[in-house]
Chains A and B, each alone.
Chain A
């Protein structure tokens, strides 16, 4: 069974940093591209970042470019999101999502999400 479990969320002050993790199991993690998608409270979905299976290709949404860094450790079956210079508008539930293998760039499995709250 595919499982994605996020952790690392919490309350952080504006300008602060946080590192999210996503532990993957039930599939060959090293063969799949992965993504972070976020959802502000009561709002819609926003794609945040993408990383290919070998980490050779990385993309970011403009809203986080230069502040967030996506990475992965295939030996540990883990995906990460380093978030720096956090702003109030970064407050959201952050989901890690597996890239759909047959077409790519859409999401077939999602974690349960971890809440990040940016507030003083």
Chain B
């Protein structure tokens, strides 16, 4: 099983600042990496797939990068609606696995 490790667990950021979230895979997942956003009481929302492609309707302030084992989600200028938990997910191998999440909170 591929273990996905996200860091940090919690990120405190002021509105308007940049947020950088990391996701590391225990073995290469090529570019088969997705990012999701989840707000309290809601289902997750797909943000990024293929490590760097924004899903439909996702604002340009969200960007993804990386390949192999190291991935980054960057939110260029945090808006109030971006404070949430973010998960990475690999879909290169079965079983499909998620990271444990990074909570982006207001500083």
A35: nearest chain-B partner, CB-CB = B96
B99 and A100 contacting across the interface, CB-CB below 8 Å: no
Q: A44-B100, A106-B49 are in contact. Are A61 and B43 (CB under 8 A)?
A: no
- Compute how far the CA of A95 lies from the CA of B43 in the bound complex, rounded to whole angstroms: 8
Q: Among the listed B1, B91, B94, which residue makes an inter-chain contact with A106, where contact means beta carbons less than 8 Å apart?
A: B91
Query: Within 8 Å of chain A (Cβ to Cβ): is B84?
Result: no
CB-CB under 8 A for A112 and B89, given A103-B50, A105-B96: no
Q: Is the C-beta of B97 less than 8 angstroms from some C-beta in chain A?
A: yes
B residues lining the A interface (CB < 8 Å): 1, 32, 34, 36, 38, 43-46, 49-50, 55, 87, 89, 91, 94-101
- A-side contacts of B32, CB under 8 Å: 103, 105
Binds B, one of A45-53, A67-75, A82-90: A45-53
* Residue from A46, A111, A113 within 8 A of B98 (CB atoms): A46
Q: Which residues of A contact B (CB under 8 A)?
A: 35, 44-47, 50, 59, 61-62, 95, 100, 102-108, 110-113
How many Å from the CB of B7 to the closest CB on chain A?
A: 14
Q: Which A residues are in CB contact (< 8 Å) with B45?
A: 110
Given A35-B96, A107-B44, A110-B45, 6 more pairs with CB closer than 8 A: A44-B100, A45-B87, A45-B101, A59-B94, A106-B89, A107-B36
The interface residues of chain A lying within 8 Å CB-to-CB of B95 are: 47, 59, 61-62
Task: Give the distance in Å from the alpha carbon of A18 to the alpha carbon of B70 in the complex.
Answer: 39
Most buried by B among A100, A105, A108, A111: A105
Is B96 a contact partner of A108 (Cβ separation < 8 A)? no
Write out the residue numbers on chain B whose beta carbons fall within 8 Å of the beta carbon of A107: 34, 36, 44, 46, 89
